[in-house]
Amino acid sequence: MGNTSSMLTQYDTEEVQSHCQDLCENFPPRNLSVSSVMCLIRYSQQEILSLYQRFCQLDRNAKGFISSDEFLSVPEFSMNPLSLRLLKMVDGLNFKDFVAFLSAFSAKASLKQKVKLIFQVYDSDCNGKVSFKDVMEVLRDLSGSFMSDEQREQVLSQVLNEAAYTCDSFLTLEDFIKVFGSCKPEMDVEIPVD
Amino acid sequence: MSSTAGKLVTSRSELNIEDYLPSGSSIQEPRGKLRLLDLIDISPTLTEAAGAIIDDSFTRCFKSNPPEPWNWNIYLFPLWCFGVVVRYCILFPLRCLTLAFGWFIFLSTFIPVHSLLKGQDKLRKNIERVLVEMICSFFVGSWTGVVKYHGPRPSIRPKQVYVANHTSMIDFIVLEQMTAFAVIMQKHPGWVGLLQSTILESVGCIWFNRSEAKDREIVARKLRDHVQGADNNPLLIFPEGTCVNNNYTVMFKKGAFELGCTVCPIAIKYNKIFVDAFWNSRKQSFTMHLLQLMTSWAVVCEVWYLEPQTIRPGETAIEFAERVRDMISLRAGLKKVPWDGYLKYSRPSSKHSERKQESFAESLLARLEEK
């Protein structure tokens, strides 16, 4: 996608679509970088065009990626308690990886893909394991100063014990998928198509 | 994922943005005992964030719509080229000449009047008023402006304030050619600033500086003094505080609605077929914007002077502002969004995310109680 005009050719859209699909095949499953997360869904041409327009709109000086500052200039994003965590995942992505990241939010994405994204948000150090501390940190982002650390620890230990885990156990992606079971997280965002 | 036009907030002294935004539902309706799944399922929050990344109502307000290129055909292209030649080589020089002529007349009358008639204030003010209206007409003429005014023309009366939606600095020129308003504007650098300090001072314009914190009180005081004076030009305020793309209106600042006087709304709508009059101050300087207007075919717009409104008993300034915004948006066919225009320049305050955190914490603690 070399040119900066808002025109994508058919080749470009097909490239993005296959990038999304290839990623799972080319990257080894242990590599939990953002781009390997959610693929295997085929965005329609129209959706890719809309996403491209949006990407160009956010990327103000046509650098080919969106900087943190530009993400934070969207007030709705800035107000989100998890914005900083997500920012680490989306900052500096080029368009293809941007689409790959957002593919978890498509209605066509599978349960596994959605849970994978949630897992990645927790696993900020990308070591494939989510510890008690990681979950605590996300809880802290979500509840802010309205819950004390003790209350958070109490809640977390309680639910962990009930689910037959201990406070020292590490949760892997498989554990996450097991916890979700057949409950697909409601994480669908429709892409507006003009 | 679009936030829709708002509903009026009843009897709250502060608008709740959450009322307008799609509620991704925080962790929610207490459903029995708290499980590990409930705790780690952060999908609502993530969905909101992704929704904001994919499309948000704030950025939509400041999107300029470039006209679709239609010149891609073998017979349309020469026609378009011909149009370009006419616009740039015939119309543009003619317009520059008209404008230069207008400035010549203006300056040759304004400067003597301003310096010589120092003693007779009333006469001087009247003449300056007429002259400013004249130079604005010249400006409008230089873009081949076709402006249709609906409604009664503003008169000079005390205790009266005019508010309008804001698309570009030319809003002011379009309105000024009919009535010499005293406008409250951001002080600009460059030649615009020069015009502001010399000519616009004479009609009683008031300046503010967005970046100065103490500015608000000083400006509020100046506004109050201005509307009390019977002789001052009617005050024109753009409560949005920033230029919006003429498809949406952002939140009105309550300053204009707290002055204790009648508010006369004005709605302005530009016809996009001829030119997109939205001045995207991040993308273009005002000079480039003016040049773009002067090399287009025409600037066509409609101005409606709406029914004057007074604050109702029991209504807060913010509710009053929203009511007037409803009127203007309805008249000009604009959609309302719940954002503060100043978010263009700064981040939203942390109290919005704190509110989300609070509701999350509350529901979590409530569910913890359930055994």
- Predicted complex ipTM: 0.81
Q: Which pLDDT belongs to residue A35?
A: 41
Mean pLDDT on B250-272? 90
Q: How far is CA B314 from CA A66, B7, B257, B307, in A?
A: 47, 18, 14, 20
A contacts of B358 (beta carbons < 8 Å): 144, 146
A contacts of B45 (beta carbons < 8 Å): 80-82, 142
Query: By mean pLDDT, which of B183-192, B249-258, B317-326 is the weakest?
Result: B183-192
C-beta of residue B263 within 8 angstroms of C-beta of residue B320: yes
Mean pLDDT on B358-367? 85
Contact A159 B21 (CB under 8 A): no
Would you say residue A26 has pLDDT above 50? no
Query: By mean pLDDT, which of A168-177, B44-53, B215-224 is the weakest?
Result: B215-224
Share of chain B above pLDDT 90, in %: 23
Which of A80, A162, A176 is closest, CB to CB, to B353? A80
The 10s digit of each residue's pLDDT in A83-136 is 998 998 888 888 888 988 898 888 888 888 888 889 989 988 888 888 888 888
Query: By mean pLDDT, which of B71-75, B156-160, B194-198, B256-260 is the weakest?
Result: B71-75
C-beta of residue B15 within 8 angstroms of C-beta of residue B251: yes
Q: Which pLDDT belongs to residue A185?
A: 85
Give the largest Cα separation in chain B, rounded: 87
Q: Which pLDDT belongs to residue B16?
A: 56
- Residues 6 or more apart in contact with residue A37 via CB below 8 angstroms: A100, A101, A104, A113, A116, A117, A120
Would you say residue B312 has pLDDT above 60? yes
Contact B56 A76 (CB under 8 A): yes
Contact A181 B1 (CB under 8 A): no
What distance in Å separates the CA atoms of residue A79 and residue B57, rounded to the nearest whole number?
A: 14
What distance in Å separates the CA atoms of residue B111 and residue B198, rounded to the nearest whole number?
A: 10
Would you say residue B140 has pLDDT above 50? yes
For residue B362, give the nearest of A189, A142, A61 by alpha carbon: A142
Contact A143 B2 (CB under 8 A): no
Contact B36 A179 (CB under 8 A): yes
Nearest chain B residue (CA) to A47: B54
Would you say residue A2 has pLDDT above 50? no
B contacts of A74 (beta carbons < 8 Å): 52-53, 56, 58-59
Share of chain B above pLDDT 70, in %: 89
Contact B21 A76 (CB under 8 A): yes
Residue with tokens 């996450």: A176
pLDDT band for position B2 (cuts 50, 70, 90): very low
Mean pLDDT on B319-329? 93
Q: What is the DSSP letter of B88?
A: I
Nearest chain B residue (CA) to A177: B37
Contact A80 B56 (CB under 8 A): no
pLDDT band for position B256 (cuts 50, 70, 90): confident
Would you say residue B161 has pLDDT above 70? yes
Q: Which pLDDT belongs to residue B319?
A: 92
Return mean pLDDT, chain B: 83
With an 8 Å Cβ cutoff, is B22 touching chain A? no
The 10s digit of each residue's pLDDT in B111-121 is 888 888 777 78
> How near does any CA of chain B get to the CA of A31, in Å?
22
Which of B36, B39, B353 is closest, CB to CB, to A79? B353
pLDDT band for position B9 (cuts 50, 70, 90): very low
CB atoms within 10 A of CB A68: 14
3-state secondary structure of B262: strand
pLDDT band for position B18 (cuts 50, 70, 90): low
pTM: 0.76
For residue B208, give the nearest of B163, B166, B239 by alpha carbon: B239
Would you say residue A68 has pLDDT above 70? yes
Contact B43 A114 (CB under 8 A): yes
B contacts of A194 (beta carbons < 8 Å): none
> How near does any CA of chain B get to the CA of A157, in Å?
10
Query: By mean pLDDT, which of A28-32, A177-181, B250-254 is the weakest?
Result: A28-32
> How near does any CA of chain B get to the CA of A186, in Å?
6
C-beta of residue B304 within 8 angstroms of C-beta of residue B148: no
Would you say residue B304 has pLDDT above 90? yes
With an 8 Å Cβ cutoff, is B51 touching chain A? yes
Tokens for A116? 């994978």
Residue pairs between chains A and B whose CB atoms are closer than 8 Å: 157
Q: How far is CA A166 from CA A119, A126, A169, A174, in A?
A: 18, 21, 5, 16
